[in-house]
Homo-oligomer: A and B are copies of this chain.
Amino acid sequence: MNFPSMLATSVRRPSIDLLREIQIFQDLDDAVRGRVAAVSELLTVPQDTVLCRQGEPADRLFILSKGQVALSNTTPNGSLAVVEVISPGGYFVLATVLARLPLLMTAHTATPSELVAVDSAGLHALLAEEPALATSLMRAEAMDFQALVRQVCDLKLRTTAQRLGCYLLDLSKDNAAGSASLRLPFDKRLLAARLGCRQENLSRAFAALRSFGVETHGARVILHDIPSLRAYAEPDELDRNQQPA
């Protein structure tokens, strides 16, 4: 994986309109959004840009507005685990920013991306004055937490093929439908790392899912028999009920 140094091709403030579209700021009023915008920058960055690095201070909260960002953790021997791949609307390093801890993960853009970077010191000053912002961010932190708990359970309880099945069902959104056609949002190397398997095991997992109606053509995936795939992969139904209303 390529980790070039930070290189923002343009830097500017995000608009209040943009912040209004971001889920974690949706319960705020425009006055608070304006104060957040004043301590934020809108970054447009090329693919393979390191946004922040494991071990360094968490000086900015990032919210992704366009593109894809991979969060990874490297062990002392150099093994790299992709903890999560962030899609537009997602945010990262919130917990470490709020707690003023060093970063546990490195974030790099998997595609050209646009991000809102909120200055950590500015954010802490705002938190002391705007209880609604604190509430929104605590809730966002808990959602992050729940996603990690789900991932821990997924890794402990399911095979790679089942994990892949759950992932595809999650992408297909409409689980009530009998079939679905979808595109993998990121490349198979990154998908293997996110699922916690080697690339050859990912190929084997796709092969195993053929019996449950999963057809692949590169990044295009067709789910011919969602009920059969659900029965095999056993996605956690409770998750959907636990999303905030």
A131 — nearest CB in chain B belongs to which residue?
Answer: B128
Task: Provide the residues of chain B in CB contact with A151, threshold 8 Å.
Answer: 152
Chain A count of residues within 8 A CB distance of the other chain: 48
Task: Provide the residues of chain B in CB contact with A98, threshold 8 Å.
Answer: 138, 141-142
Most buried by B among A79, A148, A155, A244: A148
**Residue A54 CB within 8 A of the other chain:** yes
Task: Provide the residues of chain B in CB contact with A105, threshold 8 Å.
Answer: 149
Indicate with 1 or 0, residue by residue over A37-80, a CB within 8 angstroms of chain B CB atoms.
00000000000000000110000000000000000010111010
Contact of A79 among B95, B149, B157 (CB under 8 A): B157
Q: Please determine whether B157 and A81 come into contact, CB atoms closer than 8 angstroms.
A: yes
Q: Please determine whether A104 and B242 come into contact, CB atoms closer than 8 angstroms.
A: yes
Q: Please determine whether A145 and B81 come into contact, CB atoms closer than 8 angstroms.
A: no
- Given A75-B234, A128-B131, A155-B155, does the pair A146, B55 have CB atoms closer than 8 Å? no
Indicate with 1 or 0, residue by residue over A98-120, a CB within 8 angstroms of chain B CB atoms.
11111011000000000000000
- Given A81-B156, A156-B81, A238-B54, does the pair A149, B76 have CB atoms closer than 8 Å? no
Q: Please determine whether B236 and A81 come into contact, CB atoms closer than 8 angstroms.
A: no
Contact of A145 among B144, B153, B234 (CB under 8 A): B144
**Besides the contacts A73-B236, A77-B234, what 20 more A-B pairs have beta carbons closer than 8 Å?**
A55-B238, A55-B241, A55-B242, A76-B237, A95-B145, A98-B142, A101-B139, A101-B146, A101-B244, A102-B241, A104-B149, A104-B150, A128-B131, A144-B145, A145-B145, A148-B148, A148-B149, A151-B152, A155-B196, A156-B196
